Amino acid sequence: MMGFQEIIEISLEKFGEPRYGENPQQDAVIYKIESISGIPLEKLIPIISAEQLNGKPMSFNNWLDADGVLKMLWQFEDPTAAVFKHVTPAGVAQGNTIIEAYEKAWNCDPLSAFGGVAGVNRKVTKELAEYITDGKFLEVILAPEYEDGALEVLCKKKNMRVLKIDTNMPEEVGYDMRVITGGFLIQEFDFSKLAPEDLIYLEDKGIKKPTEKQIQDMIFGWYVVRRTRSNTILLVKNLATIGIGCGQQSRVDAAFIAGWKANKPYDVLLGKAEEKRSLQINNAIYNLANLVGITPYGRSKGSVAVSDAFYPFPDAIKVLYHFGVAASLSPAGSIRDEEVHKAMRELGIAAAHTPYVKKGGYKGGMRAFLH
C-alpha cells in the first residue's frame, strides 16, 4: 500500500520542445521531473531517459506511445514485443525468440501497427531489424540493446527514431499521475502479479475449468488488458493477442471488435494476394459485413477472451461464442453474474474469474480499467 503525503512538491525542468503538441495547431513543451516528494528518482527509469540513436526528434505523440510501450514491457520477463498506436496496443506477444514475439505482435493487426511505436525486451538482432524495416513503417523502435549489424539496418531509415532503454521493471515505478483542471489524480500503478492459483475457477457452477494452456493465455492477456484503454475485451492465442477491442463504451462492441479484428483478411487487404485483388477485397468486405459475429472462423476459433471488467449481461459472451472463443477470464461482480454463468455453461465456454477484491464499497473481481 502506497502512503500518500498531504503535500507533494514537484520540481520540473524543461527537457525539450517538440515541433508541436498533439496536433499541429498546439504549442507544446516537455518537462522532466527534477524532484518529487517521496519518490527516489534514482530508482526510476523514465522514458525520457532513453538514448536516441537515430531519427528525427521525438514528437509529443511519440513520447506518449513510447511510454505506453515501455510500461507494457515492464510486466514481462520472457521475450516480448509490443506495438502501440494512439496509446493503445495494436499487438503484444511473447515467443521463444524475440523475432518470433515481434512477428506475432505485428501480425495481430498489421493495419493498425503500421506507423506505430514498437518495443522489445531483448537485444535487436540484424534479423529482427530486417523484419522491422521490410515494407513496414514505424515511427519509433525501443529496445535495451542493438547489435551493430541491426543498427546499421535500422539507421537506413533516417527518420525512424531508435531508442535504447532498459525495459526491465524498475525498482521504483513512481506514481500514476493524471492531470485534471486545477489538480492531479494520483494512484498506484497496478503491476501486481497473477498466478494460476490466484484465479477463481467455476467448476462448482458447472462451468468447465480452462486448460493449462488457456490459463497461461489468460494471465498473459490480463497483463496486456490492464495497459489497454477501457472498455476492452481482447482475444489471445498462444501467448499473443489476435484481436483487441478497446476504448469502447459498450462491452458488446468491444467483444465484436476483438473478433472482427482477429478475422480480418489481412493478406487480401494488404495486397499480398495479388491475383484478382479487387474482387478479393470486395468479397472480403462482403464477408465481413455478412458473416462476422455469426460464424466462428479464422483466428478467433479456439481463442481465449480476456475482459477488463465484469460482463454486465450475457450478450458479450454470446458474441464471443459466435466467434468461436473457447474460454474467458473476467472479474465477477455483476448483479447478473448468474445469467452470465448460465450462458457460459450452456455454450460450453471454459471460464475463470480474477481474485476477489473488497475495498471502498467495491465487491467483485480484480478489475483492469485504464482511462
Q: Among 169, 216, 189, which residue's Cα sits nearest to residue 75?
A: 169
Categorise residue 12: left if φ over 0, alpha if ψ from -120 to 50, beta otherwise.
beta
The answer to whether 117 touches 66, Cβ cutoff 8 Å, is yes
Q: What is the pTM of this model?
A: 0.92
Q: Among 234, 296, 289, 283, which residue's Cα sits nearest to residue 108?
A: 234
Q: pLDDT tens across 49-95, in order?
A: 999 999 999 999 999 999 999 999 999 999 999 999 999 999 999 99
The domain locations on the chain are: 10-164, 192-365
CA distances from 300 to 5, 151, 258, 304, 321 (A): 47, 36, 9, 8, 10
Q: Among 300, 321, 291, which residue's Cα sits nearest to residue 234?
A: 300
The answer to whether 143 touches 167, Cβ cutoff 8 Å, is yes
CA distances from 55 to 58, 140, 158 (A): 8, 9, 5
Q: pLDDT tens across 262-272, in order?
A: 987 766 556 55
**Domain spanning 192-365: CATH 2.60.40.10:** no
What pLDDT does 41 receive? 73
What are the cell numbers at 340? 452470465
Spatial separation of the C-alpha atoms in residues 233 and 246, rounded to whole Å: 7
Could you give the angle at the alpha carbon of 72 between the alpha carbons of 69 and 73, nearest 5°?
90
In CATH, what is the architecture of 10-164?
3-Layer(aba) Sandwich (3.40)
From the CA atom positions of the chain, what is the Rg in Å? 21
Stretches where the chain sits below pLDDT 70 are 1-2, 266-297
The alpha carbon dihedral of 307, 195, 192, 112 has a sign of negative
What pLDDT does 297 receive? 62
Same fold, 10-164 and 192-365: yes
What are the cell numbers at 7? 503535500
